[in-house]
Amino acid sequence: MTPKLLRILVTALAASVLFGCAQDPNTVRVAVGTYNLNNLPFFVAEARGYFAEEGLNVRIDNFAQGGSKALQALIGGSSDVAVGFYEHTIQMQSKYNEIVGFALLARNAGLVLAGRHGVQFDPARPETIRGMNVGITGSGSSSDFFMRYYLARNGLSPRDVALISVGSGASAALSLREGKIDLLVNYDPAATMLLEMGVGEILIDARTDAGANQAFGGVYPTSILYALPEFLERRPDAAEKMARGIVRALRFIQESSAEEIVAVLPESYITSDRETYVKAVASAKRIFSADGRFNREDLETPLRVLRKIAPNVAAMQIDLERTYTNRFVDRVLAARMAQRSAAPTLGEHVDSREIP
């Protein structure tokens, strides 16, 4: 076989595979941007086989390449669904594009502002942050927004600090330990890791509602499933099955200990030693949604933050009703209630998978 013929055959095979996936109503390509614990419900749903039990073949793309990469994959058409942050829906609408959240994973930010031991910064005196090196996960991330909003609401500017991208997880905690940064804005497991390593202390904890109010002026929804409107209209069954998997995962997280949750995850999902990761999950459990539904009032918080720091959002009339839908989760919850009402009498058997 000549090299030219081989290239033609390989190209044809690749095209046929892509065409087959595109035509397969049970295949959903999902872009997931990061290992941070805000996305834990998706990890749990996948690890426990909830999507597979719904008959879905979920193909994960762009794993651990950053939230912006997941968004790019969705907009570019290489993914059907993305696991990303709610604020992306607002940002895209301000750029005359539309993406729609259809299941809420994390109802609160999960961010912390930590400082190395001895750092001369007092959150009660915001001006003391001037001149400091502040680690964020990356430019344009929620941690970046967190710091820019903190500075703006306190009459300061990003020019008053040096914002340094340090990633998340171990690399972020190590940046603080090695003195590359004075302060760190990050998520779990990095927040728990830096405490376990003894390299710093948490100064603002937005994993709690009180901390989120201190940082953002309200609860700040983060991780969601989102898709283009065309996907939700063209493949509503797939969207509902994915929502069902997330609702089941959220219930499992609520009903399980941190040890039980971590036990179901593959090693590839665990970004620190297991003991520390268990502690991180225990700390993060409070940020997760109870049922996967969006609360319209909570969505005002990220909109307010973005209006303060993003000129394109501030200049546009954002319609929050176009950024999310509860219709798929509501169908799942309605089916759950109906099945509970029709549950068998004592002594009869029911397959637990039938009740989401």
pLDDT in tens, 300-323: 999 999 999 999 999 999 999 999
| pLDDT, tens digit (0-9, with 9 covering 90-100), for 63-106 | 666 777 889 999 999 999 999 999 999 999 999 999 999 999 99
Of 234-248, 290-304, 327-341, the poorest mean pLDDT is in: 327-341
Is there a contact between 146 and 110 (Cβ–Cβ < 8 Å)?
Answer: no
Average pLDDT rounded to a whole number, residues 188-213? 91
In whole angstroms, what is the distance from residue 70 CA to residue 65 CA? 8
CB 42 within 8 A of CB 51: no
Confidence check: pLDDT of 355 > 60: no
Sequence-ordered strand ranges (E) for the chain: 27-32, 57-61, 81-85, 100-104, 112-116, 133-136, 162-165, 183-186, 200-205, 223-227
Task: Kindly report the number of other CB atoms within 10 A of residue 190's CB atom.
Answer: 32
Tell me what pLDDT residue 17 has: 42
Domains of the chain: 3-108+221-340 (3.40.190.10), 112-205 (3.40.190.10)
Q: pLDDT digits over 212-266, tens only?
A: 998 898 999 999 999 999 999 999 999 999 999 999 999 999 999 999 999 999 9
Q: How many degrees, rounded to 5, is the angle at CA 254 between CA 249 and CA 256?
A: 90
Least confident of 214-223, 322-331, 342-351: 342-351
Contact 56, 242 (CB under 8 A): yes
- What pLDDT is recorded for position 247? 98
Tell me how far apart the alpha carbons of residues 212 and 154 are, in angstroms, rounded to a whole number.
16
Closest CA to 40 of 261, 194, 232, 209: 261
Bond preceding residue 189 cis, omega within 30 of 0:
yes
pLDDT of residue 34: 79
Residue 46 · residue 81 · CB < 8 Å: no
Over residues 19-41, mean pLDDT: 80
- Banded model confidence at residue 16, pLDDT cuts 50, 70, 90: very low
Per-residue pLDDT for 7 more than 50? no
Give the dihedral of Cα atoms 132, 136, 141, 147; nearest 10 deg.
Answer: -30
pLDDT over 90 (residue 3): no
Q: Residue 30's pLDDT band (boundaries 50, 70, 90)?
A: very high
Residue 22 banded pLDDT, cuts 50, 70, 90: very low
Does residue 288 sit in helix, strand or coil? strand
* CA distances for 232 relative to 94, 159, 327, 343, angstroms: 21, 42, 10, 31
User: Across the chain, what does the average pLDDT equal?
Assistant: 88
Helix (H, G, I), strand (E, B) or coil at 195: helix
Q: pLDDT class for 42, splitting at 50, 70, 90?
A: very high
**Does the structure show a pLDDT above 60 at 131?**
yes
Which pLDDT score, from 0 to 100, does residue 23 have? 53
- In whole angstroms, give the CA distance from residue 267 to residue 277: 11
pLDDT at residue 215, as a whole number: 87
User: What average pLDDT does the segment 141-147 reach?
Assistant: 89
